[in-house]
Structure 1
Amino acid sequence: MILKYFKFFTYDDFKNFSKRECWEYFILYTFLPLTPLYIFSIFHLSMFIIIFTIVLLLGTGAVGAVPFVVRKLNLRDFSMFHSGSPYEDGARVFIIFAPFIFSFFSFFGYYLNKLLLGMCFGLMFTIPFILIFFRFNTFNDISCKKNDEIVFGYHPGLYLSFDSILALIVFLIFYRVDLHYCTKVLLVLMTFIFQFISLFPDKINIYFPLDIQTKKGAIVFIGSLLLIFLLLINIFQINIVFNFDVYSILRLVFFVVLAVIVSKWYFNKKK
């Protein structure tokens, strides 16, 4: 029954898939989500729709390819150090979404007659995935153990989120502010440099005053990088990124705190 694929799967489930089940899953999750787009393209077929469909197929195809990746990399669905999947698995499996992210930004950059800019933002969002993939010996569960003590370790999701936030900030700046060409180049280079630094926490940890392998150290490290990044942006006299009023800020803080509380309650219950 095709309905057996409409449930939440774990890495262990995928590891037990037969080749036929992997292909069935791939076909279902790659092509079925885009059915409305296929129907629409029948009546409004154009080069834009064709290219847009191909770009989206890279995204849905990445989802459909997960069982193949899990079987190939022999990923597992448990960790002896923390709840959830091992860090190494996340560091390696997310690489399959990199082509979609890069092509997505490049496509819309081309559509807006700004292909080079679109490719730059595509690289900003994909380079962290690629670097973490090749640095899975750092972003793994071994980092969760230090001197016979279980610590936070180098969580790939934390650093990927930080790098995505940097790229998003620069994207909003480019979208809302008319900048000189040299300023744009400097901002792009600065973003790449900060992303690169954030993905070598094991090297920075030697000189950092706090232990980045601990949760407190990791938060201070990421917070420090973000603060320095924003201060450098201010040097460029770019202060029109977010125009939040007081109530908007309070709402944002409320929902962030609520999300943290709910997440903490969920993980404590899971343990």
Structure 2
Amino acid sequence: MLRSLREVLPERGRAVAAFDVVGLEWAEAVLEAAEALGVPVILSVAPHLGGAPLGALAPGLRYLGESARVPVALHLDHGESLAQIAEALRLGFTGVMLDASHLPLEENLRLTRLAVEVARAFGAGVEGEVGVVPGHYGAQGEEGEAQPLYTDPEEARRFWEATGVDALAVSVGTRHGFYKGPVRLNLPLLEELSALPVALVLHGASGLSPQEYRALIARGIRKINLYADLALEAARALKEAQGAYLELMAGMKEALKGLAMARMRLWWG
């Protein structure tokens, strides 16, 4: 059941999983996990990760989403331009994120507002971001690397009022990739941000403990993005597997399904 991003965002107290997938095998594993648990899920594609081009991947993902027995949103993660947003919408994506958080606030507002206007014409939901989550997907986090640019609550309020986004990614101490040093979550900041009437999104969620996930969800996180943990699990499964190509893929899918189920049980409750 393919649904808009807005339709799969839960009420406060639980979080929907948004898994960045780089191929159809990954998507199949995620959907099998969601169907086994009977929970909604978001299939995300982040073009900067590589993998198949949007135009090649989208038809297969759309078919899988439409065939699923649970609500599924097809989401563009970290869209880099309005042109990329428009391409994803034409390809059938039901949610888009324009990541202009690295730009001055006024430019972030302007571009995101335009993205919202375009997406609404397609019936799609929109995610924006205020504050910067450092690091790179799949990169090993190092102590001493760039610190988070925490989300300013007043800027977040102004952003939401000006754009009307359905979901807002915030920076509260996580980072993309993996952690070498300790995680320093700013939970009081998240509590303050949760006063906004918008679904808050956590990026850089790999490597956190169950206790940290629960604390974040209790304070208003309603969508959690995951990639680095999936990539690590896929690499582990392929390294340990033996057999021909199809056997390798089957083993990887089973490993990804298990990880996805574990995260969804924890996040959705």
TM-score class, shorter: under 0.3
Larger radius of gyration: 1
TM-score (normalizing by structure 2): 0.23
Please state which structure has a larger fraction of its residues in strand.
Answer: 2
- Bigger RCO of structures 1 and 2 (CA < 8 A, at least 6 apart): 2
